[in-house]
Amino acid sequence: MKNKKTNKSRNVNLDLLRFLGVLIIMVAHAKPPSVFFQLRNFGTPLLIVASSLTYAFIYKNKSIELIPFYKKRITKLTLPAWIFLIVFFLLFYVVTFIFNQDYPFNINTVISTFLFYEGIGFVWILKIYLMLALLTPFGLRFSNSKIRNRAYFSIIFLFYVLYELGNYFVSDYIPVESLHLIENTILLVFPYTALYLYGLRLNNMKTHHVIYVTIFSLLIFIIMAIKKYYSNGIFVSTQNYKYPPTLYYLSYALFWVNLIYLMIFRYSVINFVKYKKVLIWLSSNSLWIYLWHILAYYLWKNFFGHYEIIGLFILKFIFLLSFGIIITKIQLDLVNRMLPTKNKILIKIIPYIK
């Protein structure tokens, strides 16, 4: 009965938004043509806003307990990823051993991957999620306070402006050997924190205010794009301003994030409730789908990576997504068969495998 009640009160639009963010990131990993790559270059901000909207919905009328939340959230993010990475690296070790090939990953790559820093790539998004997980209880307290929207968003805006100013001058005072580390850790926190806080109150904004932000974001992007075009002679991709994220990248991303939010939440372009069960399953298992698509990426790279065919990225994307979904479904079926189990270790791990 409890699950049925939960499903009835569940906002399927949030499931759609979260899984859409995962899909957009997967498109990038399929290496589409530059035009398509630019068009979809807002996946991470979309995931961040989807996450903050979800927590704003869950904790709208209830308080959050700090330690239990941290324990559950951090474990839910790290344990599945580490389980997958163990399988991933062991699988490649076995395959390379059987075929007498050199192991493609060195120890530094393995360690940095488990730390969600760089490594094999793809898992750095978990670093962002962990940072935001630590922020969530305090962000919710700030968002749920009685402070008016004008003051709330003004504080976020000021916070972001200070970040931009700090980021602009940071390279003049930080040694080059330390700059890369700072850009991929500390400097990621500030802009995504501002975006996360924005998402926590997005649903409380009036529709016309969201439209204003959407248009204003687009105007900033267009002005900056034109300026960069005249300076460089070509269109400059927002990807060049993603690490760490700055105004050129974020204005473009914020435009798309708000536009998609409006279409899904305010104007209901399509009745996604019809696909409720499918969306809930995809969203609930999106982390595992994303993790397994990493293995699919490396399989494709080794077997089909030398082919250069126009439109091949579509087939690659379908392969990445299908592989992630199918392996996740097989994994869940195997786990369900293992239940109930008397193994105490498995009892603790199984919920996170599911």
Q: Give me the DSSP letters along 34-80.
A: HHHHHHTTTHHHHHHHHHHHHHHHHTSSS---HHHHHHHHHHHHHHH
Omega of the bond prior to 244 within 30 degrees of 0, cis?
yes
> What are the percentages of helix, strand and coil residues in the chain, rounded to 5?
80, 0, 20
pLDDT of residue 61: 81
E strands, 215-290, where? Answer: none
The answer to whether 21 and 282 are in contact (CB under 8 A) is no
pLDDT of residue 309: 62
Omega of the bond prior to 340 within 30 degrees of 0, cis?
yes
pLDDT of residue 21: 94
pLDDT of residue 83: 94
Give the residue from 100, 52, 20 showing the smallest Cα distance to 198: 52
pLDDT of residue 119: 87
Give the residue from 122, 43, 36, 46 showing the smallest Cα distance to 314: 36
Which class for 315: exposed (0-12), middle (13-18), buried (19 or more C-beta within 10 A)? Answer: middle
Distance, CA of 84 to CA of 327 (rounded, Å):
12
pLDDT of residue 352: 64
The answer to whether 349 and 78 are in contact (CB under 8 A) is no
Distance, CA of 275 to CA of 286 (rounded, Å):
16
pLDDT of residue 2: 40
Q: What is the four-CA torsion angle of 76, 186, 297, 113, rounded to 10 degrees?
A: -70
pLDDT of residue 197: 96
pTM: 0.90
**Sign of the C-alpha dihedral computed for residues 156, 78, 284 and 320 taken in this order:** positive
For tokens 């001058």, what's the residue?
169
pLDDT of residue 341: 63
- Each of the 354 residues of the chain gets a pLDDT tens digit; together they read 344 444 557 788 899 999 999 999 999 999 888 999 999 999 999 999 999 999 999 998 888 889 999 999 999 999 999 999 999 999 999 988 888 888 889 999 999 999 998 889 899 899 999 999 999 999 999 999 999 999 999 999 999 999 988 887 776 677 666 667 777 777 888 999 999 999 999 999 999 999 999 999 999 999 999 999 999 999 999 999 998 899 999 999 999 999 999 999 888 766 767 778 899 999 999 999 999 999 999 988 877 766 666 568 889 999 999 999 999 999 998 888 876 665 655 555 666 666
